[in-house]
Amino acid sequence: MKANNKSARPSQRVPERGRAASAKGSTPSYSALAPRRIAEILKRLDQLYPGVTCALTHSSAWELLVATILSAQSTDVNVNRVTPELFRKYPTVEAFAALTPEQLQPDVRSTGFFRNKSKSVVGAAKKIVAEFGGQVPDDMEELLTLPGVARKTANVVLGTWFKKAEGVVVDTHVHRISRRLELTTQDDPQKIEQDLMKIIPREKWILFSHQIIWHGRKLCISRKPKCVDCPLENLCHAADKTWSTVELHKNAKA
Ligand code: SF4
């Protein structure tokens, strides 16, 4: 079966209906960023993932910050295996601030990149205690001064804990799916975020990120996305689709 042939080009993987659509050429009026298309994508995401939120287990802004730092290059499931014991052992930001990175390393080792992550978590704790009275700041500029915190982590904490829409979380799922859906042509997370902030209504920024992250876990996975089961399928022209009823666009890919 061609879908299993790794050397097959995307256009060879699509079924008869997809190839027929490709042969007709581009629809002249197609615009990836047309407000109606964006609204339809958002509507379908709402139907598919109503009320979803962050999958990282946490009970405070500090715990969410730590979990988000630990989630880099790891999975939420993996992080959730580590954090309950971690927060039992070190229940406050002050307890983390009293550690050296080396002391924390064994506790976070299984999340990968544990030396850098330990340095970031302990560094962030020390700064929060020394400069922010032990409270995680609810301000983008201040969050970005913490070691190991870039916009993605800051947006997770601001959106999920403080309910402040300051930006759009661009993690690996949002990066991949935004490109597949032609919501951006950029590759740099900050530029992707800027593109998304222009086309997604601000009141949707927080939910949109969560929905796309869930979509990336459930259906629009990195390799062999489950397009045949995807409710966005006829709006999606991704070149790396595994099944299609619409033409494919060669630049629309992860
Ligand atoms: S159709 Fe396929 S590539 Fe497009 S969003 Fe759905 S799962 Fe992802």
Q: What is the pLDDT of residues 92-148, one digit of tens each?
A: 999 999 999 999 999 999 999 999 999 999 999 999 999 999 999 999 999 999 999
What contacts 147, CB < 8 A, 6 or more positions away? 119, 120, 123, 124, 127
Alpha-carbon distance 57 to 112, whole Å?
18
Active site residues: 152, 171
CB 172 within 8 A of CB 74: no
Residue 21 has pLDDT above 80, yes or no: no
Could you identify the atom of ligand 1 that is nearest to the CA of residue 240? Answer: 3
CB 167 within 8 A of CB 151: yes
Ligand 1, atom 3: closest residue by C-alpha:
241
Cα(230) to centroid of ligand 1, in Å? 6
The 3-state DSSP composition of the chain as helix, strand, coil percent (nearest 5) reads: 55, 0, 40
Ligand 1, atom 2: closest residue by C-alpha:
227
CA nearest to 34, candidates 243, 248, 235, 242: 235
List pocket residues of ligand 1, CB cut-off 6 Å. Answer: 180-181, 219-220, 225-227, 230, 232-233, 236, 238, 241
Q: What is the pLDDT of residues 167-213, one digit of tens each?
A: 999 999 999 999 999 999 999 999 999 999 999 999 999 999 999 99
Residue 27 confidence (pLDDT): 58
Q: What is the pLDDT of residues 31-86, one digit of tens each?
A: 999 999 999 999 999 999 998 999 999 999 999 999 999 999 999 999 999 999 99
Q: What is the pLDDT of residues 216-230, one digit of tens each?
A: 999 999 999 999 999
Range of weakest confidence among 5-19, 141-155, 211-225, 232-246: 5-19
**Mean pLDDT of all residues in 148-167:** 98
What contacts 85, CB < 8 A, 6 or more positions away? 107
Ordered structural domains, the chain, with CATH: 31-54+150-254 (1.10.1670.10), 61-135 (1.10.340.30)
Mutate to test the pocket of ligand 1, among 180, 229, 244, 251 (most ligand atoms within 8 A of CB): 180
Cα(155) to centroid of ligand 1, in Å? 25
Half-sphere exposure of 210 (CA within 13 A, CB side): 21
Alpha-carbon distance 45 to 52, whole Å?
10
Cα(226) to centroid of ligand 1, in Å? 7
Mutate to test the pocket of ligand 1, among 17, 42, 218, 230 (most ligand atoms within 8 A of CB): 230
Q: Which of the four pLDDT bands, split at 50, 70 and 90, describes residue 28?
A: low
Cα(54) to centroid of ligand 1, in Å? 21
Mutate to test the pocket of ligand 1, among 227, 244, 247, 251 (most ligand atoms within 8 A of CB): 227
Residue 23 confidence (pLDDT): 37
Q: Which residues pair with 238 in a beta bridge?
A: 249
Ligand 1, atom 8: closest residue by C-alpha:
220
**Mean pLDDT of all residues in 8-16:** 42
Alpha-carbon distance 47 to 18, whole Å?
25
Q: Which of the four pLDDT bands, split at 50, 70 and 90, describes residue 8?
A: very low
Residue 1 has pLDDT above 60, yes or no: no
Residue 84 confidence (pLDDT): 98
Residue 7 has pLDDT above 50, yes or no: no
